[in-house]
Amino acid sequence: MKKAKKDYYSKRIDGQKQNPKEAWKTINNLLGRQNQPTKVNELSISGNDLTNSEDIAEGFNEFFSNIGPDFASKLDTSNYNFDEHDNL
């Protein structure tokens, strides 16, 4: 039985060389990994606990749409010579 299982998965993966996504699905199936989506039931933002799925989605949207500008505003660029990279 072990040899049959090994041969089956070996042939399957070998046949999926041109499709890495399908090959990884087969490997994960072999390893018993299930692709279960993670559901967030509650999110706390600034002390407010959000439980409504639309509010949670909006909270994630707000966070990820602002993280770049928030991070950039905290960078100290006053001593940086941007002319060193004039070929960009």
Q: What is the pLDDT along the chain (88 residues), one digit of tens a residue?
A: 788 888 888 888 888 889 999 988 888 888 888 877 788 999 999 899 999 999 999 999 999 999 999 888 888 777 777 777 766 5
Q: 4 with 25, same domain? A: yes
Write 52-56 long-range contacts (CB < 8 A, 24+): none
Rounded (5°) CA angle 73-78-83: 110
> Could you give the C-alpha distances from 40 to 9, 15, 46, 82, 88, in angstroms and in order?
35, 37, 17, 42, 41
What per-residue confidence (pLDDT) applies to 27?
87
The H-assigned helical ranges of 1-88 are: 2-14, 20-30, 53-73
What per-residue confidence (pLDDT) applies to 86?
67
Is residue 88 included in any domain, yes or no?
A: no
- Tally the domains of the chain: 2
Rounded to whole angstroms, the Cα distance separating 49 from 41 reads 10
Domain of 8, in residue numbers: 1-31
pTM of the model: 0.47
Is residue 54 included in any domain, yes or no?
A: yes
Is residue 36 included in any domain, yes or no?
A: no
Is residue 48 included in any domain, yes or no?
A: yes
